[in-house]
Structure 1
Amino acid sequence: MKQAEIKGIISAMITPMNEDESINAAALREQVNRQIESGVHAIFCFGTNGEGYILNKEEKKLVLKTVIEETNGRVPVYAGTGCVSTKETIEQSKMAMDLGADVLSIITPSFAVASQNELYDHYKTVAQAVDMPIILYNIPARTGNALTPATVGKLSEIPNIVGVKDSSGNFTNILGYISATEKNNFSVLSGNDQLILWALKAGGVGGIAGCANVYPHTMASIYNCYMEGDWKKAKEYQDSIASFRACFKYGNPNTVVKTSVSLLGYNVGKCRAPFNQLPEEGIEALKKVLKENADKGMK
């Protein structure tokens, strides 16, 4: 099995698009280089911020192939391969494995309610079908299904299920994951950008960060400063994203993030319709916050 160390700030990359909503591969390559040159520790393709929920199979293949080529081994590449059915999740996971991804991130099935036994069997079946490290992905507000700490503890016994990303926003849940898996060599990542430093302090290993699309250096510095023992500086970096995160109230967070990258001058396009609108007051608030943060030297 391919081994990639799960750690640091993993950028939940946006998927740049042209005006006709096709994938903009040139802009994607530009963003890959921007992220790596800014110090992120890994790249994560077509997760929630990458609009994986709205890309078809061929588009995912194009995105992953482009990112792996452009990354060229400089950092690990994660692929979000979770689908509603176990069968399709396995198909997507094998596609990512064949293309050369380093790690799979598998979101819980969505829409239909799944029991913890069903979720356990889903992940176990996928893990048996691919010889790759798997990160579980818990985001119940989007999927309607939550992985409990007890289920994650059981899943952590499966050799190639190596970690979990928690985007519940509930720090108690992160603590539950850490506690349930501490006897195994298992990595817990924050999917909430405001909790990364606290997750590290509690025994987590980093975060999968949407804000890294806007502030890659700032996000990477939270982890780097913490690992260097500079708590004060790490907390300054962690606190500095609060004003940007406050803008999420204006719309879908993915749309806020992608719009912000556009406002920074990068040709990444809009999110795919219908999830592509922000009110004028939201745009103005973003412009104000982006300028204030640029004046402070955030990047």
Structure 2
Amino acid sequence: MKPIELKGIISPILTPMHADESINVEELRNEVERMISNGIHGIFPFGTNGEGYILSAEEKKTVLEVVVDQTAGRVPIYAGTGAISTKETIAQSKMAQEAGADVLSIIAPSFAAASQEEIYTHYKTVAEAVDMPIVLYNIPARTGNAIAPATVARLAQIENIIGAKDSSGNFSNILGYIEAGKTKTNGTFYTLSGNDQLIIWTLLAGGTGGIAGCANVYPQTMASIYDLFVEGKIEEAKTANSSIQSFRDCFKYGNPNTIVKTAAGLLGNNVGKCRAPFNQIPEAGIDALQKVLAENKARGMR
């Protein structure tokens, strides 16, 4: 297994689409360049913000191959390969390994309720089927299944399970993951924040970065949180992290990844809409977004 450090701000890159909802490959390449040129430390295709939940297996393969080709080794690539079943998760993970991904981000199984023992067995089985680093992805609001810190501690003992991303929004859970990771005896365990507001606090607590949806709108600002932290400029890093609050306040107007993709489009990026039916924002939401984007542009955020 290729050794890798999980650190910095990873962008769960948008999947640009044409009006007919087909994938806009040319714009996907542009988005990769936009992320890298603004200092992003990693790229994560077909995560939540990349609409991985609504892409076919063939579309995911296309997206990943394009991102791998365009990135050309400049930053690590995290592939979101989780599915409801263990069988499909393994198939997607093998596809990602063959396509050249560096890390697998595997979301917890969804829809049907899963016990912690079932979650443990699921990840263990997948880890044994691929020779790649794996990041656990906890987002219970979307999946209905939470990965408990005690389960993370058990999974951390598996050599190629090297980290966890927590998108629960519960900082206590992030702290639990950080502590669980300290029990790993066969390498380093990395904890990443999946909640953009908690990135600096995760870093201060011993985590190593974040997978940040807001990076699709403000890649430079988001990347600077980690860069400033590494430089020891903690107060500046805190300021950068808090600067996204007004934008996040717009999430009340719709599905957060729909808000993010719409905002990226309003800034002039040809990313298209989210795939139906998750693509509507009320007029009041568009007005609020335009106001916030203009204010943040005047402040130099990008």
Equivalent residue pairs, number: 299
The residue that corresponds to 1:285 in the other structure is 288
The answer to whether structure 1 residue 231 and structure 2 residue 219 are counterparts is no
Please, what is the CA RMSD of the aligned residues? 0.5
Deviations 1:55-89 (A, max 9, x none): 00110000000000000000001100000000000
**Mapped partners of 2:295, 2:92: distance in 1:** 41
1:18-58 deviation line (CA, Å, top 9, x unaligned): 00000000000000000000000000010000000000011
Please say if 1:208 is aligned against 2:215.
Answer: no
Alignment of 1:180-199 (within 5 A): 180-184=180-184, 185-199=188-202
Unaligned 5+ runs, structure 1: none
Quote the Cα distance in structure 2 between the aligned partners of 1:23 and 1:4: 30
Task: Please report how far the alpha carbon of residue 215 of structure 1 lies from its aligned counterpart in structure 2 after TM superposition.
Answer: 0.2
Where does the alignment leave 5 or more consecutive residues of structure 2 unmatched? none
Once the 2 structures are TM-superposed, how far is the Cα of residue 131 of structure 1 from its aligned partner?
0.1
Write the letter of the residue equivalent to 1:150: A
> What corresponds to 2:51 in structure 1?
51
Name the SS of the counterpart of 1:294 in structure 2. Answer: helix
TM superposition shift of 1:180: 1.5
Residue in structure 2 matched with residue 252 of structure 1 by the alignment:
255
Query: Quick one: distance in 1 between partners of 2:263 and 2:69?
Result: 26
Where does 1:1-299 land on structure 2 (aligned, <5 Å)? 1-184=1-184, 185-299=188-302
- Residues 163, 181 of structure 2: 8 Å contact kept: no
SS in 2 for 1:189: strand
Contact 2:228–2:234 (Cα < 8 Å) also in 1: yes
Aligned equivalents of 1:181 and 1:264: distance in 2? Answer: 39
TM-score (norm 2): 0.98
Query: Under a length normalisation based on structure 1, what TM-score does the superposition of the two structures give?
Result: 0.99
In 2, Cα distance between equivalents of 1:153 and 1:50: 29
Shift of 1:190: 0.2
Per-residue CA distance 1:223-262 (angstroms, 9 max, x = gap): 0001100011101101100000000000000000000000
The ranges of structure 1 where at least 4 consecutive aligned residues each deviate by more than 4 angstroms after the TM superposition are none
Is the Cα–Cα contact under 8 Å of residues 3 and 102 in structure 1 kept in the other structure? Answer: no
